[in-house]
Structure 1
């Protein structure tokens, strides 16, 4: 991890949140790396250096007017950067797109230092399966991950404010989608 950032994210449903925690524990044990003490399983809609003081009220309003979204995963993705990044892409459903569009429209006036890679034309929801590994263990990690069943159906029922301190990730606020 490096610089301090904030993100508007969703945690996974309980079953799949636990599955990612178990996977991270297994990766830590198998490869001698540390993940679970610094990261939170999630996917990101929006990321910025800061959000204004009204972010909690804004997120509560969005959550009260948006319904939970159903999505799925079925493949393992790899972004070939040093070291490679392994992720679980989620199907970009109409409901997830609606949440994403609404957040981007509402956050525009209170966010500074916005990361464009989460903008609508580039965005897809991904769950990082081996975040911030300092050494390239991809040669051994790929077959390890391919043994996992990632054909999941998930219900996304929350939006959260995540604070990445540069050292660890913290969910600062969580709002249930109830619309």
Structure 2
């Protein structure tokens, strides 16, 4: 699988990585290491064609860096629950996602529907695949007193390959547009 993501800044990368290590040490969770880069995703697909990079470069060149906020923990339910830090949808984040969507979909093979603009829930995954109904209550109790209200500077679009033999960061593009004056 491939994904278009924004990688977190060094400070929040360290915080999320420390949380992953804590969840591994305390609860034996290792599923998160399938994609070992703290990030949130805009689009996921089985594969993208080569023309995608040119369009991503143009979007990155015309998009100014911006800040997003996080707000607590969230959970995707189901037989394999996913625990995450919720990224709050904001005007700049929605604008970028809306700009990306038609380009990404045009170049994607088998895009994942969860990332469509109407249903997209941006998030930073803390645990998946080895999270169960049995261990979930204890894990949430372990984390629930913490504050996950962060300000995240977003300055990149990155093409990641999750299951390509290694965890490749194929392309990391800096957001380099000029911020709008308010």
The answer to whether residue 128 in structure 2 is matched with residue 131 in structure 1 is yes
When structure 1 is superposed on structure 2, of 79-88 and 42-51 the one drifting more is: 79-88
Aligned to 2:180: none
Structure 1 unaligned spans of 5+: none
Aligned residues: 175
Any unmatched runs of 5+ in structure 2? Answer: 178-182
Instruction: Tell me, yes or no, if the aligned pair for 2:81 and 2:129 is still in contact at 8 Å.
Output: no
Q: Counterparts of 2:30 and 2:104 in 1: how far apart (Å)?
A: 33
Task: Measure how far apart 1:36 and its partner are.
Answer: 5.8
Give the match's secondary structure for 2:153. Answer: strand
Contact 2:82 2:131 (8 Å CA) reproduced: no
SS at match of 2:176: coil
Structure 1 residue 147: Cα displacement: 3.2
Q: Does the Cα contact within 8 Å between 1:24 and 1:35 map onto a contact in 2?
A: no
Show CA shifts across 1:22-63 (max 9, x none). Answer: 000111111123246432211111111111112222221111
Q: Give TM-score scaled by structure 2 length.
A: 0.88
Distance in 2 separating the partners of 1:166 and 1:56: 18
State which drifts further: 126-135 or 167-176: 167-176
Distance 1:167 1:88 in 2: 27
Return the TM-score normalized by structure 1.
0.89
Verify the 8 A CA contact 2:5 2:40 in the aligned structure 1.
Answer: yes
Match of 1:24 in 2: 20
Residue 83 of structure 1: how far off its partner (Å): 3.5
DSSP 3-state at the match of 1:178: coil
Aligned match of 2:163: 165
Write out aligned runs for 1:7-156 (5 A): 7-35=3-31, 37-39=33-35, 40-133=37-130, 135=132, 136-156=134-154
Q: Which range moved further: 83-92 or 15-24?
A: 83-92
Over the aligned positions, Cα root-mean-square deviation in angstroms equals 1.8
Instruction: Tell me the secondary structure at the aligned position of residue 76 of structure 1.
Output: strand
Are the equivalent residues in 1 in contact too, given 2:66–2:92 (CA < 8 A)?
yes
TM-fit CA distance, 1:105: 2.0
